[in-house]
C-alpha cells in the first residue's frame, strides 16, 4: 500500500471544498428567497416557492455527509481521480437538482437521479478498492496490478498513462 501524500489527496480535497462552497451558495439563495418573498424568521412554511428553496437546500445538506464518505473512500481505496470525477458529477447533479426543485417539484428528478448514480458509483468503486486491498493483504494477490496489465495498453493509446502513477 502506498503512503498517502498531500499530492495524492489534492483532487478529493478540492472536490470537497467545491461541494462545501456549493452548500454556502444554496444557503445564500435560500436567504435571498426568504427576503424576496417576505417570509419572516423562523417560518419555514406558508409560501410554496420558499418551501421549494428550503427543501432543496435541506435535502442537499442531508446528502452531503453521504457524499463526503463515499468520495473519500473511493478516492483513498480506488483512485483519487475516479473519486474526483465522480464527485464533480455529483456536484453538477446537485446543482441541477437545486435549480430544478426551485422551479417545480417534478423538475428536481433528473438532478436527483444524477446524484444517486454518482453516489452508487463511488460506493461501488470504494467496495472494489477495499476488496482488492483485503485480497492483497490476506492472499498476497494484487488485483489492481493484475488489472493494470490489461488497462495499460488502452491508457497509453489515449495518452492517459498518468493514471498509472497512482
- Which of 90, 87, 65 is CA-nearest to residue 78? 87
Q: Which three cell numbers stand for residue 81?
A: 481521480
pLDDT higher than 70, residue 149:
no
* Per-residue pLDDT, 147: 66
Whether residue 162 is contained in a domain is answered as no
- Which of 67, 96, 62 is CA-nearest to residue 54? 62
Q: In 9-47, where does DSSP find H-type helix? A: 10-36
Whether residue 125 is contained in a domain is answered as yes
* Per-residue pLDDT, 140: 76
Whether residue 118 is contained in a domain is answered as yes
Whether residue 76 is contained in a domain is answered as yes
Percent of the chain with pLDDT over 70: 91
Cα–Cα–Cα angle for 86, 91, 97, rounded to 5 degrees: 125
103-117 mean pLDDT: 97
Q: CATH number for the domain including 24?
A: 1.20.120.550
- Which DSSP letter does residue 46 get? S
Whether residue 40 is contained in a domain is answered as yes
Domain count, the chain: 1
pLDDT higher than 90, residue 99:
yes
Residues 6+ apart with CB under 8 A from 116: none
Cα–Cα–Cα angle for 127, 109, 49, rounded to 5 degrees: 130
Range of the domain at 26: 7-138
Which tens digit of pLDDT belongs to each residue from 39-88?
A: 998 989 889 999 999 999 999 999 999 999 999 999 999 999 999 999 99
Whether residue 11 is contained in a domain is answered as yes
Amino acid at each position: 500500500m502506498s503512503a498517502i501524500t498531500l499530492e495524492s489527496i489534492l483532487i478529493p480535497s478540492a472536490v470537497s471544498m467545491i461541494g462545501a462552497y456549493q452548500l454556502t451558495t444554496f444557503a445564500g439563495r435560500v436567504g435571498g428567497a426568504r427576503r424576496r418573498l417576505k417570509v419572516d424568521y423562523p417560518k419555514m412554511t406558508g409560501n410554496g416557492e420558499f418551501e421549494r428553496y428550503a427543501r432543496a437546500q435541506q435535502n442537499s445538506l442531508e446528502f452531503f455527509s453521504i457524499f463526503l464518505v463515499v468520495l473519500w473512500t473511493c478516492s483513498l481505496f480506488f483512485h483519487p481521480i475516479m473519486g474526483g470525477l465522480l464527485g464533480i458529477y455529483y456536484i453538477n447533479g446537485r446543482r441541477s437538482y437545486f435549480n430544478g426543485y426551485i422551479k417545480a417539484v417534478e423538475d428536481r428528478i433528473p438532478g436527483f437521479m444524477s446524484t444517486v448514480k454518482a453516489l452508487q458509483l463511488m460506493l461501488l468503486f470504494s467496495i472494489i478498492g477495499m476488496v482488492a486491498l483485503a485480497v492483497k493483504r490476506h492472499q498476497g494477490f494484487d488485483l489492481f496490478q493484475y488489472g493494470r496489465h490489461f488497462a495499460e495498453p488502452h491508457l497509453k493509446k489515449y495518452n492517459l498513462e498518468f493514471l498509472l502513477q497512482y
